Chains A and B, each alone.
Chain A
Amino acid sequence: MHFRFEIIFDYIPLLLKGAALTIGISALAIVLGSILGLVVSFGKMSTRWYFSWPISGYIHFFRGTPLYVQILIVHFGLVPACIGHTDAIVAAVTALALNSAAYTAEIYRAGIQSIDKGQTEAAQSLGMTSGQTMRFIILPQAVKRMIPAFGNEFIVLIKDSSLVALIAAPELMYWSNVMRGQYLRVWEPYLTAAFIYLILTYSLSKLLGWMEKRGVTG
């Protein structure tokens, strides 16, 4: 296989620009997804059916359908319905955040339930409401334990975000598709993109490992 490095150099600025958007979209999606995920996990743990049933449906939908289809639905259905026209970056962040929330909800649930029951009882015995207990006692401890899982979710999102090239959000995969189109060559764009993704996810997992070692988490 003859590898044409010169066409990679041609596209490096665009690929890096795309990688920056990949990071941006994924980072925004993980932030929004984890906020939404918290709401979703409370809904799921709620004993009231009118909270827990719709939330259950939400989780089943976003975990049980391909992200590919979710991106199309958000881009061509949800976003136009909300803002009148569609926008690839808005749709990309929305789809990834909605999808991610269905998974981060589970991280919250596991994290919250991993905190000893005695902590809740101690807080309640001091007269704290369940909201105060959650905010001052449970979440601060649970979040620390959840950081590795959130890091993994971020890595998953970075990889999954490649699917938004589908709706022409100009991220890393999009620009490698453009590169492929110009030269009708497959390996140069795709392996270059894969290599950049690898650098992103590898550095992120190293950072997480470092945080864990430094005792920032768990």
Chain B
Amino acid sequence: MSTAPIIEVTNLHKSFGTNIVLRDVSMQVAPGEVVVIIGPSGSGKSTLLRCLNGLEKPENGDIRIEDRSLMQAGVKITEIRSRMGMVFQQFNLFPHLNVLRNITLAPVQVRKQTPIKAEELAMSLLGKVGLLEKAGHYPASLSGGQSQRVAIARALAMEPQIMLFDEPTSALDPEMVGEVLAVMKELAAEGMTMVIVTHEMGFAREVGHRVLFMEQGVIVEEGTPQMLFDDPKQERTRAFLSKVL
């Protein structure tokens, strides 16, 4: 890869009590790259993603985002986070705020944008995810697919350099998966750097530039979707794929 990586993970180690979740994990993501992480549940893929914006604290190793280490003492984690959007499996919309306020809160409070400017941006993002008419609604009245699209708009409102997706379609009814994936696809097409943990193999193959297969806390194999899906080198990858495809 010619350009400097925007995310650089080296020798990451993380455990919960005696349970080791990440063993010596290293990976890089280039600007504009779409990296998809697949693997069985409990393989550590979500933990790896959550380490990237500091929601989990690894014990060892280093994470550099835009060449700034997360592990250094005194690092301004909130500043790094504000340049990285995250979309959760359970949406995590703020139920006491309407859709518009969900989106504008962080830009106004964290980026100190004027409310008018934040609202303009929010409305254009809502248009982008196809939910303009829901601006005044509360999260409780939205379907799962709509909620997740609002959550994506909320993350985008911070105008992040990187978007992290933690199983964004796993909590959705099957008929709503498509609308969320469509938004993500559009985002990828615009050149957003994305790291996606997902079980949607079709999506991984279609949109991913690179696919990582994780199991038991290590990256077993990585490569282009074609390489990984059509010609896996490792026995464990083959075993996993035969189960999910």
Contacts and interface: CB of A to CB of B under 8 A. Distances in A.
B169 interface: no
Interface stretch (B59-67, B78-86, B196-204): B78-86
Chain A residues touching B, majority SS: helix
Contacts of A132: 109-110
Interface stretch (B17-25, B27-35, B92-100, B129-137): B92-100
Interface string B71-109: 000000011011111101010111110000000011001
A129 B85 contact: no
B51 to A, nearest CB: 13
Contacts, number: 64
B81 A124 contact: yes
Interface residues of B, number: 28
B154 interface: yes
Interface string A122-134: 1111111100100
Nearest to B154: A126
A121 interface: yes
Interface stretch (A53-61, A82-90, A137-145, A156-164): A137-145
A136 interface: yes
A144 B109 CA distance: 22
Contacts of B151: 122
Given A132-B110, A141-B96, A144-B96, A125 B53 contact: yes
B79 A141 contact: no
B82 A122 contact: no
B155 interface: yes
B79 A127 contact: yes
Contacts of A141: 94-96
Nearest to A140: B96
A127 B55 contact: no
A203 interface: no
Contacts of A128: 78, 106, 109-110
List of 10 A-B pairs having minimum Cβ-Cβ separation, nearest first:
A127-B82, A122-B92, A126-B106, A125-B86, A118-B92, A127-B110, A127-B81, A127-B78, A140-B96, A141-B96
Interface of B: 53-55, 78-79, 81-86, 88, 90, 92-96, 105-106, 109-111, 151, 154-155, 158, 164
Interface of A: 116, 118-119, 121-129, 132, 136-137, 140-141, 144
